[in-house]
Amino acid sequence: MQTSRIVRALHMAEVGTLVDWAAGEGWNPGLHDAAAFRAADPQGFLGAFVDGEMLAGICAIRYGVSYGFVGLYISRPDHRGEGHGKAVWEAGMARLSGRIVGLDGVDTQFENYRSKGFVPAYRTIRFGGRYSPEGATRDAGVVALLTPDLFDDVVAFDGRIFPQPRVAFLQRWLAPPHVVRVAVSGGRVAGYGVMRTCGVGAKIGCLSAIDLPTANALLASLAEQATGDVFIDVPQPRAEFASLLVASNLTPGFETTRMYRGGTIRLASELFGVTTLELG
């Protein structure tokens, strides 16, 4: 084991490097993810360094006082098996001690996470392809652009789908160059969705709504702004929504498992598309 290893919080440029590693792993992050991710918790991105060189990284994000989320857990391929991944994992778990902790685990790590006390909650399925509007319905009220006067209402609606406040993150996530749509019904926010450009195509997330027609209207409004393939990570219990995605020419592919340690978080009925697999 390297005796000169240190684990510390990452600077902004180093968070960018970690996101680049995620792209190298085929995770297809957004082109502007690093700044938005770091806004969620600037001290929550950790790296293992030897002689000033980052060899592994993780994010261990604190939300509010009781929730945390783990993602971007990557060791550099040429230094795997040297204990650097274990070092950042332990540092991340220590940082989130006493909280309910969530993660989205790939199948190859499922048993590893379960051995660490994580319990599966539900599967998440990524749908992707060239969106076709033939499967969309448009009878869900007004779909408007996000305006400054709507921001606080969208943040309040986000509290219905996420267990703790994440205002600093949303200030970045709901800003250009991301595409944002807000559903308004009876003068009240009825859902919102975000789309961001990725290395391949664009991802939609979060997608939240009071009901299925509203979710589908938001999907249509966002996906029609894309110039290529679109992707969305959908909780498996949203079977009716998944059927609408298939009708819109999107096909299922990559899957993960949402897992929790230290307690459980109920899947909100308003959640149709996960914000990100990296931050929850």
pLDDT of amino acid 2: 46
Q: Are 270 and 211 in contact (CB under 8 A)?
A: no
Q: What is the pTM of this model?
A: 0.93
The number of helix segments (H) and strand segments (E) in the chain equals 8, 13
Q: Are 47 and 15 in contact (CB under 8 A)?
A: no
pLDDT of amino acid 205: 97
Burial 254-268 (b: 16+ CB within 10 A, else e): bebbbbbbbeeeeee
pLDDT of amino acid 1: 45
Task: Name the pairing type of β-strands 188-197 and 45-50.
Answer: unpaired
- The two tokens of residue 79 are 């230094």
Domain ranges within the chain, ordered by starting residue: 6-98, 125-273
Q: Which fold, 6-98?
A: Aminopeptidase (3.40.630)
Nearest of 7, 26, 73 to residue 200 by alpha carbon? 26
Place of tokens 């096909």: 251
pLDDT of amino acid 225: 92
pLDDT less than 50: residues of the chain: 1-2
Place of tokens 């938001």: 218
- The two tokens of residue 167 are 């205002």
- The two tokens of residue 222 are 């966002």
Specify burial of residue 78 (Cβ count, 10 A radius: 0-12, 13-18, 19+): exposed
Q: Provide the 3-class DSSP secondary structure of residue 172.
A: helix
Q: Provide the 3-class DSSP secondary structure of residue 137.
A: coil
Q: Give the number of residues written for the chain.
A: 280
What's 30's DSSP letter?
B
Q: What is the pLDDT of residues 213-242, one digit of tens each?
A: 999 999 999 999 999 999 999 999 999 999
Q: Is CATH 3.30.565.10 what the domain over 125-273 is classified as, yes or no?
A: no
Place of tokens 């975000």: 194
Burial 125-155 (b: 16+ CB within 10 A, else e): bbbbbebeeebbeeebbebeebeeebbebbb
pLDDT of amino acid 140: 58
Nearest of 83, 84, 21, 13 to residue 47 by alpha carbon? 84
Phi, psi dihedral angles at 104 (to 5 degrees)? -110, 105
Place of tokens 């509010």: 64
pLDDT of amino acid 144: 84
pLDDT of amino acid 134: 59
Q: What is the pLDDT of residues 128-169, one digit of tens each?
A: 999 997 555 555 567 888 988 899 999 999 999 999 999 999
Do 6-98 and 125-273 share a fold? yes
Distances (CA, A) of 202 to 68, 123, 230, 249: 26, 21, 5, 15
- The two tokens of residue 177 are 């160059």
pLDDT of amino acid 259: 98
Q: Are 183 and 139 in contact (CB under 8 A)?
A: no
